[in-house]
């Protein structure tokens, strides 16, 4: 069960019970919880903590907000007798950054990686028709050999302190839902679908994996009217759909796939999901969906909001989608970590394209030196062997979890790594080789090229299937009145891309200006709303000059929290919207531009 990532459902064979709500919670600065017997006895003098939530912003004292180290959760969970005979599991949507799970005093499993789900099989220790003590030890320290990359400092007063090599707050906790699951012994454990198109049909190639070899497998596809349009038998096959309703950008049509297992004609399990029939290709400078070119209009985002930090909040997500639709957007990048599963379901239904990104962020000593790191190439560090294992593991889980979403366009394997040194090449060679076969749909793989990783300076341009450029002339250099030099420099670099043999699309995945809402100045100054528009106008003039630029995703949809710093005014203010999701002037400007750019431009 521990490698199963199917989204939990309740039906006549399966039970999914939410464990969200208030849990016992306790910091453990002395890291003594284990020898104090907390897994066996529960948490002494615990406080109450909402789940899902980051703990940080609830508190009124800085030591609690900034707490770094071990911290514990506990909850007594009643498991009804009705679940007997099934495999019983606990599914954690995200425990940031690492967790150890105990049930009734027994250690069940550990998990590393704060932005992907994992399941603990508790069948061997669960007690039916009574309460079971579920205890978790979490840890939110940052390390150079873990994702996202950073250091953990120790202050003179003995307090640990997170030192991220990345620009988002190290929100920590059970940031996504926790579920109690009961599933059949003989069950569907995974499935995958890929689509090929002919002039009049869609061929849906499916693979089903099951926990046991005995059951017979039947797969049906139903259209939006509930009509069964195709049926297949066996663990592998192809369903032919005549006159299919294809999944298109901002014109989504979904089918229901139903996978039934029977033993001696008796049904033992069923798993249903929503899928979209579409193809994705990179052909020359074009990104094609169902053979049609698409132009990406969208954003870099964060799962970030006031009160609960990085907690997944369906209300915020709904508002974000309404804002993106209002803007005329059709895509976003899950910067800088895989988002909650509900986000991909939203995108499937709304016809948005997603660049799905793992938290391989901060792999750059310059970022560290911004925080007092070393001046060396990140990939020369002795930490890269251990880091690689975790990196590949998290890409594997991201693809495993998200591979059936029609909205997922591509996999972003890193954000702004240091590729300006040859020492990056062996790491990238292995990463792109080891991830080649993970996705049955063989979606494009990419990473974002930072400011310093230009056409001339990056040693890793040979790897991505298309390019994501993060560029900040007008903000991090050639800013203010010098922005015209910034534009000239950007054009000079793009002229080299254009003159090269490189025959792949380029998408601008980050550009922008920190902007204080309500700050107006004529003529403009940096941080004013006028300047944010001027900077976007500069980039848009450049985008409109090169036909190999196939997308624009300014940084960021909304303002978001970062560490304190002399370059941050209570967080990063590059949002087109404020953190409470209200528009800055630039949102109206960009909305007007995007109204004139067709999704299939
Ligand atoms: C020059 C690097 C820019 C940087 N890129 C990664 C994002 O996570 C940051 O927020 C963004 C920024 O500093 O605004």
Q: In this predicted model, what pLDDT tens digit does every residue of 547-571 receive, in sequence order?
A: 999 999 999 999 999 999 999 999 9
The one-character DSSP state at 371 is T
How far is the C-alpha of 78 from the C-alpha of 132, rounded, in Å? 6
pLDDT at 368 over 90: no
Q: How confident is the model at residue 519 (pLDDT cuts 50, 70, 90)?
A: very high
Q: pLDDT of 264-321, one tens digit each?
A: 999 999 999 999 999 999 999 999 999 999 999 999 999 999 999 999 999 999 999 9
The Cβ of residue 79 has, within 10 Å, a number of other Cβ atoms equal to 21
Find the mean pLDDT for residues 208-230.
97
For a mutational test of ligand 1's pocket, the pick from 300, 473, 555, 562, i.e. the residue with the most ligand atoms closer than 8 A to its C-beta, is 555
User: What is the phi/psi pair of residue 125, to 5°?
Assistant: -120, -5
pLDDT at 85 over 90: yes
3-state DSSP call for residue 269? strand
Q: How confident is the model at residue 491 (pLDDT cuts 50, 70, 90)?
A: very high
Which residue, among 263, 285, 249, 540, has the nearest Cα to 407 in the 3D structure?
249
For a mutational test of ligand 1's pocket, the pick from 472, 563, 568, 579, i.e. the residue with the most ligand atoms closer than 8 A to its C-beta, is 472
Q: Check residue 172 and give its pLDDT.
A: 98
Strand order in the sheet with 292-293: 280-283, 286-289, 292-293
Catalytic residues: 416, 510
Cβ neighbourhood burial of 199 (10 Å; 0-12, 13-18, 19+) = exposed
Say how many Å lie between the CA of residue 580 and the centre of ligand 1.
Answer: 20
How far is the C-alpha of 291 from the C-alpha of 286, rounded, in Å? 10
Q: Is the CB of residue 451 below 6 angstroms from any atom belonging to ligand 1?
A: yes
For a mutational test of ligand 1's pocket, the pick from 469, 470, 560, i.e. the residue with the most ligand atoms closer than 8 A to its C-beta, is 470
Q: Is the CB of residue 165 below 6 angstroms from any atom belonging to ligand 1?
A: no
Q: How confident is the model at residue 2 (pLDDT cuts 50, 70, 90)?
A: confident
Say how many Å lie between the CA of residue 561 and the centre of ligand 1.
Answer: 12
Q: Check residue 77 and give its pLDDT.
A: 98
Q: Check residue 376 and give its pLDDT.
A: 76
Q: Is the CB of residue 470 below 6 angstroms from any atom belonging to ligand 1?
A: yes
3-state DSSP call for residue 116? coil
3-state DSSP call for residue 302? coil
Say how many Å lie between the CA of residue 510 and the centre of ligand 1.
Answer: 8
In which element (H, E) is residue 281 found? Answer: strand 280-283
How far is the C-alpha of 195 from the C-alpha of 204, rounded, in Å? 5
Which residue has its alpha carbon closest to ligand 1 atom 8? 167
The atom of ligand 1 lying closest to the CA of 415 is: 6
The atom of ligand 1 lying closest to the CA of 555 is: 14
Q: Note the pTM of the prediction, 2 decimals.
A: 0.98
Q: How confident is the model at residue 3 (pLDDT cuts 50, 70, 90)?
A: confident
Which residue, among 165, 178, 161, 189, has the nearest Cα to 49 in the 3D structure?
178
Say how many Å lie between the CA of residue 540 and the centre of ligand 1.
Answer: 19
Q: Check residue 1 and give its pLDDT.
A: 85
Place of tokens 């990473």: 447
How far is the C-alpha of 29 from the C-alpha of 539, rounded, in Å? 48
Cβ neighbourhood burial of 595 (10 Å; 0-12, 13-18, 19+) = exposed
User: What is the phi/psi pair of residue 261, to 5°?
Assistant: -110, 135
Q: Is the CB of residue 167 below 6 angstroms from any atom belonging to ligand 1?
A: yes
Question: Residue 553: which residues within 8 A CB-CB, separation 6 or more?
Answer: 296, 297, 298, 299, 300, 331, 332, 333, 507, 508, 509, 510
Q: How confident is the model at residue 367 (pLDDT cuts 50, 70, 90)?
A: low
Which residue has its alpha carbon closest to ligand 1 atom 9? 167
Say how many Å lie between the CA of residue 212 and the centre of ligand 1.
Answer: 47
Q: Check residue 365 and give its pLDDT.
A: 77
Q: Is the CB of residue 476 below 6 angstroms from any atom belonging to ligand 1?
A: yes
For a mutational test of ligand 1's pocket, the pick from 371, 416, 554, 561, i.e. the residue with the most ligand atoms closer than 8 A to its C-beta, is 416
The atom of ligand 1 lying closest to the CA of 510 is: 5
In which element (H, E) is residue 468 found? Answer: strand 467-470
Q: Is the CB of residue 307 below 6 angstroms from any atom belonging to ligand 1?
A: no
Q: Is the CB of residue 363 below 6 angstroms from any atom belonging to ligand 1?
A: no
Say how many Å lie between the CA of residue 451 and the centre of ligand 1.
Answer: 10
Which residue has its alpha carbon closest to ligand 1 atom 4? 167
Question: Residue 378: which residues within 8 A CB-CB, separation 6 or more?
Answer: 144, 149, 363, 364, 365, 368, 384, 417, 418, 424
pLDDT > 90 fraction of the chain, expressed in percent and rounded: 97
Say how many Å lie between the CA of residue 578 and the centre of ligand 1.
Answer: 17
Residue 174 CA, distance from chain mean position: 16
> Please, are residues 336 and 148 in contact by the beta-carbon 8 Å criterion?
yes
Find the mean pLDDT for residues 487-500.
97
Q: Check residue 374 and give its pLDDT.
A: 57
The atom of ligand 1 lying closest to the CA of 476 is: 1
> Please, are residues 171 and 561 in contact by the beta-carbon 8 Å criterion?
yes
pLDDT at 190 over 80: yes
Q: Is the CB of residue 550 below 6 angstroms from any atom belonging to ligand 1?
A: no
Cβ neighbourhood burial of 536 (10 Å; 0-12, 13-18, 19+) = buried
Say how many Å lie between the CA of residue 512 and the centre of ligand 1.
Answer: 9
> Please, are residues 447 and 417 in contact by the beta-carbon 8 Å criterion?
yes
Find the mean pLDDT for residues 354-375.
77
Say how many Å lie between the CA of residue 480 and the centre of ligand 1.
Answer: 18
pLDDT at 110 over 70: yes
Which residue has its alpha carbon closest to ligand 1 atom 6? 167
Average pLDDT over the chain reads 97
Q: Check residue 258 and give its pLDDT.
A: 98
Tokens of 429: 């060679």
Which residue has its alpha carbon closest to ligand 1 atom 7? 167
Q: Check residue 360 and give its pLDDT.
A: 98
Q: How confident is the model at residue 366 (pLDDT cuts 50, 70, 90)?
A: low
In which element (H, E) is residue 495 found? Answer: helix 483-499
């Amino acid at each position: 069960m521990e490698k199963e990532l199917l989204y939990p459902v309740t039906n006549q064979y399966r039970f999914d019970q939410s464990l969200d709500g208030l849990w016992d919670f306790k910091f453990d600065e002395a890291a003594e919880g284990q020898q104090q017997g907390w897994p066996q006895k529960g948490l002494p003098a615990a406080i109450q903590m909402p789940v899902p939530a980051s703990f940080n912003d609830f508190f009124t004292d800085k030591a609690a907000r900034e707490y770094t180290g071990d911290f514990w959760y506990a909850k007594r969970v009643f498991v009804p007798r009705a679940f007997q005979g099934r495999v019983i599991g606990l599914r954690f949507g995200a425990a940031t950054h690492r967790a150890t799970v105990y049930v009734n005093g027994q250690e069940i499993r550990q998990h590393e990686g704060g932005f992907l789900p994992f399941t603990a099989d508790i069948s061997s220790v669960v007690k039916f028709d009574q309460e079971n003590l579920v205890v978790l030890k979490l840890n939110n320290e940052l390390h150079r050999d873990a994702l996202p990359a950073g250091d953990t400092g120790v202050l003179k007063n003995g307090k640990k302190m997170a030192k991220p090599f990345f620009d988002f707050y190290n929100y920590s906790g059970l940031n996504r839902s926790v579920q109690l699951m009961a599933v059949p012994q003989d069950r569907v454990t995974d499935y995958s679908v890929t689509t090929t198109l002919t002039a009049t049909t869609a061929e849906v190639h499916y693979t089903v994996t099951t926990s046991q070899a005995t059951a017979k497998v039947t797969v049906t596809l139903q259209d939006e009217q509930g009509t069964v349009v195709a049926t297949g038998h066996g663990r592998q096959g192809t369903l032919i759909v005549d006159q299919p309703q294809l999944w298109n950008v901002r014109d989504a049509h979904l089918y229901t796939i139903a996978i039934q297992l029977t033993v001696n004609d008796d049904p033992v399990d069923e798993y249903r999901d929503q899928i979209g029939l579409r193809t994705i290709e990179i052909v020359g400078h074009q990104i094609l969906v169902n053979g049609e070119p698409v132009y990406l209009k969208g954003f870099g985002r964060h799962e970030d909001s006031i009160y609960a930090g990085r907690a997944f909040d369906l209300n915020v997500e709904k508002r974000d989608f309404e804002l993106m639709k209002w803007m005329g957007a059709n895509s976003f990048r899950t910067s800088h970590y895989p988002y909650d599963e509900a986000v991909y379901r939203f995108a499937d239904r709304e016809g948005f394209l997603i660049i799905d990104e793992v938290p391989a962020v901060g792999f750059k000593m310059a970022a560290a030196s911004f925080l007092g790191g070393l001046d060396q190439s990140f990939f020369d560090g002795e930490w890269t062997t251990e880091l690689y294992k975790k990196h590949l593991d998290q890409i594997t889980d991201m693809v495993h979890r998200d591979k059936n979403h029609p909205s997922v366009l591509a996999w972003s394997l890193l954000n702004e790594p240091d590729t300006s040194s040859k020492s990056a090449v062996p790491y990238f060679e292995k990463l792109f080789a080891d991830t080649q076969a993970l996705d049955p749909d063989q979606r494009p793989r990419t990473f974002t090229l930072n400011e310093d990783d230009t056409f001339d300076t990056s040693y890793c341009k040979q790897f991505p299937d298309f390019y994501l450029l993060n560029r900040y002339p007008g903000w991090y250099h050639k800013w203010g009145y010098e922005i015209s030099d910034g534009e000239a420099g950007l054009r000079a670099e793009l002229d080299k891309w254009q003159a090269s043999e490189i025959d792949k699309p380029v998408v601008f995945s980050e550009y922008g200006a920190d902007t204080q809402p309500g700050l107006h100045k004529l003529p403009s100054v940096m941080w004013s709303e006028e300047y944010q528009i001027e900077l976007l106008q500069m980039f848009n003039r450049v985008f409109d000059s090169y036909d190999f630029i196939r997308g624009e995703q300014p940084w960021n949809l909304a303002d978001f929290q970062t560490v304190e710093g002399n370059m941050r005014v209570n967080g990063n203010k590059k949002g087109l919207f404020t953190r409470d999701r209200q528009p800055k002037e630039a949102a109206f400007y960009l909305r007007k531009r995007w109204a004139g750019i067709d999704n299939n431009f």
